[in-house]
Structures are given as C-alpha cells and as structure tokens.
C-alpha cells in the first residue's frame, strides 16, 4: 500500500552528459559511452533503492531525450532532416526529425536496456516510452499528412516493442503523454484509441503519465496562464477511467489541480505526484505526506502510489536525491498512520 515510484527520468551524471540540461549531448562515444550508460543505470537503481523507492526505473539514463531516444531506431524517421517546430501547441520550439517514409521497427529498441536493468534489481521495475500523441507532437511529418493516422502507426510500432519489453520481466510499462493536457479534443477523437492499440496484448501492468511538463521555464510560464484552477484533467480523466490502462500518473504537488478531480479516476491506480520537479527546494517528508493525505480523500490507499510530478532530469543530482528520500519518507509516515508496515 502507498508504494512509491517516480515518473521516469533522473539527472544524468556529469561524466555521461551535461548536467541540468534537457537534450544534453553525450560526453563520450562508442564503447566508452555504452559502458557509461550501464554504469549510470546501476547508479540510478542504487540511488532509488537507497532512498526507499519501491517501484524503480532505469532513470532513462540511456536516452538523450524521452521521445527521440525511441525514434532513433525506427525506419521512416530521418534525423538528418531536422527542422525547428513549435511543440505542445507552440509552447516552445524544438529541433525535431522528420517522418519521410512508412514507419517500421526493424529491430528491438529498448530490449537491451530493460534486460540490463532487470538484472540489476529485485524490485518491481517500470520502464517508460513516449505515447503516440506526444511522439506525433515532437516531430515533423512529411509523409502521412494526418496526425491520427500517424499516431496509430506509431501505436502499432510501440505495441511491437511493448510486448517484447513486458516479456523480459517488466512489471509496469508507462506511456508518457504530456500532449494529453494540450490537445484534449484529440484525446477524445483518437488519443485513447492510439493508447489502446499501443498496449494491446501487453502482459505487464500499463500506465500513462499526463503531467504539465518538466520544470523548465517554458512550462512554468505556460502554467502561469492557466488560472487559479488547472482543470484540463476534467476532460481526460473520464476517458482514462473508461480505458484499458491500469494506472494514471499526474501532477499534484504545488499545483493548481483540484484534487477532487482524482475521483474521476475511480477504478484506476493513481500515481500521485507528491514531489514538485519545478523547484530546487527539497520537500520535507511532512510536506510529501500532506499531499498524499489530501489525495487519499479521493483515491483509496490501495490504489494510490506516491510519485514525482514529472521527470527529474533537469534537476541537480543532489536535489533529485533529496526529493527521492523525502518521497519515500513521506509515504512511510502516512503508511504508519494507516497502520500499514
């Protein structure tokens, strides 16, 4: 009960990539880079275990970016044809590759990473990959000409990968869909359909992460325009409650999300973001516990998983480490209050 986990990413060590930076270039290459990635995964797992996190991830240490790390191995996506586009409804600009031909996964993408991480820990293991809508929003399309069609093609590719990853001993597969808070009409029109296609026949538990984004300036500025209450979830939660996904991960710490909206997720595991990734201030266990207690008014304890708001890759390592410890300690406080060991 109240088992802790994280949204996915952790800061990369300085010897692997430039710290506190999204899309940071690798500091090494070739065999040295491969070895450094494995060392970073070991470190990420040990850090989570030492902090007391119950369901761990590889920290996304082997990926430069959570979307492009998946796309790099897919035929039909041309990284030599990079263009700058506005993503998340022009919230910020990004340099992205272009779809130029039919999509095809010619070989496993993350199988080696899951296999390695699985061998390094006995704790339940979660692995994250980008969801179809967010992928479509994070590249240029010069071939399909239709966002729904492109998303469903990516869902097919994701599904091929997801089935293999689950068979390697994965406990939770999470699809990251920050775009779900931006294109709510598309979520209803084809977003859930694409997620269902992506998880069809997947043997492990499945989750979707739909927060308000990393704690970078563009996201912080956008959130400042959303008013006193962030009610985007009001449109998506009923759709997700009726979906075939097992878990929903969202932002609650220091947010303006009305927590009564969590009641719309009845029947789902809810990964409650109890750690704010948009600040370098490390929460106290009491602050984490307070967020969990508020959420418990709307989510039964057996369904509530204390989590981070979003990925922590832009943070300093010492800050992220402190937040992990606070997350675990805060959850432990509430478990004791509930009489659960």
Q: Among residues of the chain, what percentage have pLDDT more than 90?
A: 84
pLDDT tops 80 at residue 215: no
Please state, in angstroms and as integers, the Cα–Cα distance from residue 140 to each residue in 82, 87, 147, 195, following that order.
8, 10, 10, 20
**Nearest one of 98, 117, 110, 14 to 66, comparing CA atoms:** 110
The answer to whether 162 and 129 are in contact (CB under 8 A) is: yes
Query: What gap in Å lies between CA 242 and CA 313, rounded to an integer?
Result: 32
Helix (H) or strand (E) holding 236: helix 233-241
pLDDT score, position 253:
92
DSSP letter string over 252-278?
Answer: -TT----GGGGGGGTTSEEEEEEE-SS
Distance between CA atoms of residues 248 and 262, nearest Å: 10
Contact 312, 9 (CB under 8 A): yes
Query: What local confidence, expressed as pLDDT, does residue 92 receive?
Result: 77
CA gap 269, 231 in Å, rounded: 20
pLDDT-derived band at 331, boundaries 50, 70, 90: very high
Token pair for 87: 């993503």
**pLDDT of residue 279 exceeding 80:** yes
Structure tokens belonging to residue 204: 């492990």
* pLDDT tens figures, 117-128: 999 999 999 999
What burial class does residue 136 get, using C-beta atoms within 10 Å of its C-beta: 0-12 exposed, 13-18 middle, 19+ buried? buried
Average pLDDT over residues 189-196: 98
Phi, psi of 59 (to 5 degrees): 70, 10
| Range from 49-63, 217-231, 241-255, 275-289 carrying the lowest mean pLDDT | 217-231
214 pLDDT exceeds 70?
no
What are the tokens at 63?
A: 């990926």
pLDDT tens for 43-97 read 999 999 999 999 999 999 999 988 988 999 999 999 999 999 988 878 878 899 9
Q: What is the pLDDT of residues 144-157, one digit of tens each?
A: 999 999 999 999 99
Mean pLDDT of 188-197: 98
Helix (H, G, I), strand (E, B) or coil at 305: strand
- Give the span between the Cα atoms of 77 and 72, in whole angstroms: 8
DSSP 8-state code for residue 215: S
According to the model, what pLDDT value does residue 55 have?
98
Q: How far apart are the first and last CA of the chain?
A: 9
Give the C-alpha distances (Å, rounded to integers) separating 262 from 2, 10, 107, 252.
16, 26, 39, 10
- The two tokens of residue 94 are 């990004």
């Amino acid at each position: 009960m109240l088992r802790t986990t994280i949204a996915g990413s952790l800061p990369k060590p300085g010897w692997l990539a430039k710290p506190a930076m999204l899309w940071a270039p690798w500091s090494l290459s070739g065999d040295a880079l491969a070895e450094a990635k494995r060392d970073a995964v070991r470190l990420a797992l040990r850090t989570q275990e030492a902090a007391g996190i119950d369901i761990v991830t590889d920290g996304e240490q082997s990926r430069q970016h959570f979307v492009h790390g998946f796309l790099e191995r897919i035929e039909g996506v041309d990284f030599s044809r990079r263009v700058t586009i506005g993503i998340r409804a022009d919230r910020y600009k990004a340099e992205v590759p272009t779809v130029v031909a039919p999509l095809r996964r010619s070989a496993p993408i993350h199988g080696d990473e899951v296999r390695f991480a699985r061998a390094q820990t006995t704790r339940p293991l979660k692995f994250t990959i980008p969801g179809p809508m967010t992928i479509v929003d994070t590249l240029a399309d010069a071939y399909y000409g239709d966002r729904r069609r492109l998303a469903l093609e990516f869902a097919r590719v994701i599904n091929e990968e997801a089935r293999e990853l689950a068979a390697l001993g994965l406990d939770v597969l999470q699809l990251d869909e920050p775009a779900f808070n931006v294109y709510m009409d598309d979520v209803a029109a084809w977003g859930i359909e694409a997620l269902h296609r992506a998880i069809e026949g997947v043997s492990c538990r499945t989750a979707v992460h739909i927060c308000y984004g990393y704690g970078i300036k563009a996201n912080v500025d956008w959130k400042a325009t959303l008013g006193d209450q962030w009610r985007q979830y009001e449109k998506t939660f009923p759709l997700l409650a009726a979906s075939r996904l097992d878990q929903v991960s969202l932002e609650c710490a220091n947010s303006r999300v009305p927590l009564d909206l969590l009641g719309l997720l009845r029947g789902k595991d809810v990964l409650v973001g109890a750690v704010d990734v948009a600040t370098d201030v490390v929460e106290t266990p009491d602050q984490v516990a307070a967020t969990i207690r508020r959420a418990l008014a709307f989510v039964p304890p057996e369904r509530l998983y204390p989590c981070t708001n979003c990925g922590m890759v832009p943070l300093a390592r010492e800050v992220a480490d402190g937040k992990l410890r606070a997350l675990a300690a805060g959850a432990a406080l509430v478990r004791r209050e509930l009489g659960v060991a």
